[in-house]
């Protein structure tokens, strides 16, 4: 667990809000790869859902360093960037996490784009570095 607060309290609201996070990973050829995801913030870790067949998950298993940026949905000039490491990759066999994200982002009880047999995991990121702009 992180021992010190990396993300200042005044910026945590962006991660708690339904703001899209852009997750950057390092691909097998060393090039960065970035894509938007739904984010969860529990006060210590940033979490996001991922299918098990995506390149992003393979990237994170090979190189667990990650950068995540998110923009305040109410103020596009206020953003945060979190850099950290993957602390855990947890199974989401019952889809509870992705369904909770669907509730947060779509106000729907279940994730509407689930494919038959789709396997999902929860990527748990330990923040190590934080930057921001705006919102002060």
What percentage of the chain carries pLDDT values higher than 70?
A: 96
CATH of residue 20's domain is 2.30.110.10
Instruction: Note the pLDDT tens digit of each residue in 15-70.
Output: 999 999 999 999 999 999 999 999 999 999 999 999 999 999 999 999 999 999 99
DSSP state of 10: G
b/e burial code for range 45-62 (CB count within 10 A of at least 16 → b): bbbbbbeeeeebbebbee
Which residue segment(s) compose the domain that 79 sits in? 9-133
Is residue 134 very low, low, confident or very high in pLDDT (cuts 50, 70, 90)?
confident
Is 4 inside a domain boundary?
no
Is 2 inside a domain boundary?
no
Per-residue tokens: 89: 């990759």
Return the pLDDT at 54: 92
Per-residue tokens: 15: 């991660």
The count of domains in the chain is 1
Is 1 inside a domain boundary?
no
Is 124 inside a domain boundary?
yes
The SS3 assignment for 19 reads coil
């Amino acid at each position: 667990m992180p021992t010190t607060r990396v993300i200042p309290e005044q910026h945590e609201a962006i991660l708690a809000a339904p703001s899209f996070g852009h997750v950057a990973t390092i691909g097998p050829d060393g090039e960065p790869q970035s894509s938007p995801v739904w984010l969860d913030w529990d006060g210590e870790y940033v979490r996001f859902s991922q299918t098990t067949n995506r390149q992003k998950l393979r990237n994170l298993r090979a190189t667990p360093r990650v950068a995540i940026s998110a923009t305040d949905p109410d103020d596009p000039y206020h953003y945060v960037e979190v850099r950290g490491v993957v602390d855990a990759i947890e199974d989401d066999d019952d889809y509870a996490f992705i369904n909770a994200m669907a509730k947060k982002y779509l106000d729907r009880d279940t994730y509407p784009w689930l494919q038959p047999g789709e396997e999902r995991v929860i990527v748990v990121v330990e923040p190590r570095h934080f930057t921001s702009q705006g919102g002060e």
